[in-house]
Structures are given as structure tokens and as C-alpha cells.
Amino acid sequence: MDRGTVGSASRGRLHVAIRHHGASAVVTAAGELDHHTADLLRESLEGCVADGYARLVVDCAPLEFMDSTGLNVLLGARLKAEAAGGGVHLAGMQPVVARVFEITGAEAVFTVHDSLEAALAD
């Protein structure tokens, strides 16, 4: 059951909102994820795992840009979530964001869904 938004924060060009859906933490990242904004997402994802949510669903649909720093944040979150018995699911990536995963081969280590609805149904 969706419990609504339980937290949100903004740092410049990135806005992060967190809500819970059953056993999943849904983390929505909107805007630009880069060197200047990455800590906001890192803190949010690590906080979810610390709160007992090992299944992280990152809604990437409103994410307009991501560089290698953002990719590293997601890779780090994946390691922490897997250590806690869960994982990171990525949903709704725009082509410009998906390209970062394709170029680096990182798409092979994440579960990627076309939409948030598909990620939550999995």
C-alpha cells in the first residue's frame, strides 16, 4: 500500500522525494543529477536502507540529466541494498539518462523497468 510522500528535499537543480509502497522505498529524482547534486540522492538512498527498506525503486522519469557521479551514487546504493537483502530497481529512464547506463555497461547490474508501475508490480 502506498503511504504517500514521507520526505522530500531539494538541492539546486535536483529534487528528491521519498515515499513507501509496501516493502519498497520509492525514490523520485527530478532534475539534474551531477557532481553538485549527487549527495542529496546518496543521502536519501542510504537513509532508506538504514530505515529498513532494502528494495529501492528509483523513479528516473523526471530525471533530465545524469553524469558519472550520479551513476556512482546508484552503484553504491545497489551494493548497500544488496548487502541488506534487497536491490535497486530503476524505472522510466529518459533516453539521455539510459545512454549513461548503455555506454558504461551498468545496465547489466540493475533491474530496469519501463515504468514506475512495472517496477512496483515486480
63-116 confidence digits (pLDDT tens)? 999 999 999 999 999 999 999 999 999 999 999 999 999 999 999 999 999 999
Domain 15-121 belongs to what architecture?
2-Layer Sandwich (3.30)
pLDDT at 2: 39
Rounded to 5°, the CA angle 80-71-24 comes to 45
User: What residue type is assigned to position 2 of the chain?
Assistant: D
Domain extent listing, the chain: 15-121
21-77 pLDDT tens trace? 999 999 999 999 999 999 999 999 999 999 999 999 999 999 999 999 999 999 999
Name the percent of the chain in helix, strand, coil, to the closest 5: 40, 35, 25
